[in-house]
Structures are given as structure tokens and as C-alpha cells.
Amino acid sequence: MNMRRGWLHIVQDFRMLPVFVVVSMAIGIGFGKWYSISNFELTPPIDAIKAIFRGQYEFTIPNTLALGVVIGLFLMMYPAMTKIRFEDLGKAARSPKQLLIVLFFNYAVAPFFVLGLAKIFLAGHPDLYTGLVLYGLAPCIAMVI
């Protein structure tokens, strides 16, 4: 088995996803402790990418971490995106009832459910309350967080 095929097989195997998440968290915490990241003002990832295309990129810790976010998100989302069968998208468009049910629950039921949970459990914590409500407003954001 060549190295490239082996890597893709490991990345596409969803059973390994929890391992990758835990290892990524450990690496991130390690970098944070090692470099005292809380002392830095981090660069937004889009600014680091713009700097690369303009030829003005500097290898600083904030810039490198910003690129790490982009690379990490790609590696996290790639396995899920490779499992999409695009020929099935036509089937989804031909069954509007199922599509409308999903849209209804994602955008009409879930946000109010999360708002209720936030009011019950996080009323005394405005930052967490706001974060949970925003999380509930945007379905399918779990991979990005």
C-alpha cells in the first residue's frame, strides 16, 4: 500500500475521527501552554491567507496559528465531504416533503429549543447564553466549532 492511499484510508475512516479530535485538542493545548498564546493577538485566518497571496506573509506565531485553523478545518471536514454521493442530491430535490421537514426542524424548531435550554441552564452566564443561542441558530455548525 502506498503512503498516499494509506493516509486517505485513515482520514476517511470515521472510527478514527474521535482519535484525531483528541490528538488535535492535545496539540492545540500544548502549543498554547508552550508559547503562552494568551499573550498574543491572533491573526484572523483570512488575513493570513491574503498575506500569502500578496507575498507579505511573515512566519509569526499568530499567523501560523491562523493557518493552522484553516488546515485543521479542512482536515476535519474532508472525510465527511468525501462520503457525499452527489447523484443522491437529485433524489433529495425530487422529494420536497422530506426537504421541507428538515428545513422546518432546522430553522423553526431547533433555534427555539436551544433558546429554551439556554434560558433554563445559562440564564446567569450571558456569554455562554449568547454562544449557545448562536450555535442553535446555525444548524450544521458543529464541525466548525
Higher per-residue pLDDT: 131 or 3: 131
Higher pLDDT, 8 or 27: 27
Q: Give the CA angle between residues 15, 11, 87 to the nearest 5°.
A: 95
The reported pLDDT for the residue numbered 1 is 46
What pLDDT digit, counting tens, does each position of 86-139 carry?
Answer: 777 777 778 888 888 988 988 889 889 999 999 999 999 988 898 888 888 877
For 21, 39, 42, the CA distances from 127, given in Å and listed in that order, are 25, 21, 20
Cell of 5: 492511499
Residue 13, pLDDT score:
64
More confident residue, 112 or 47: 112
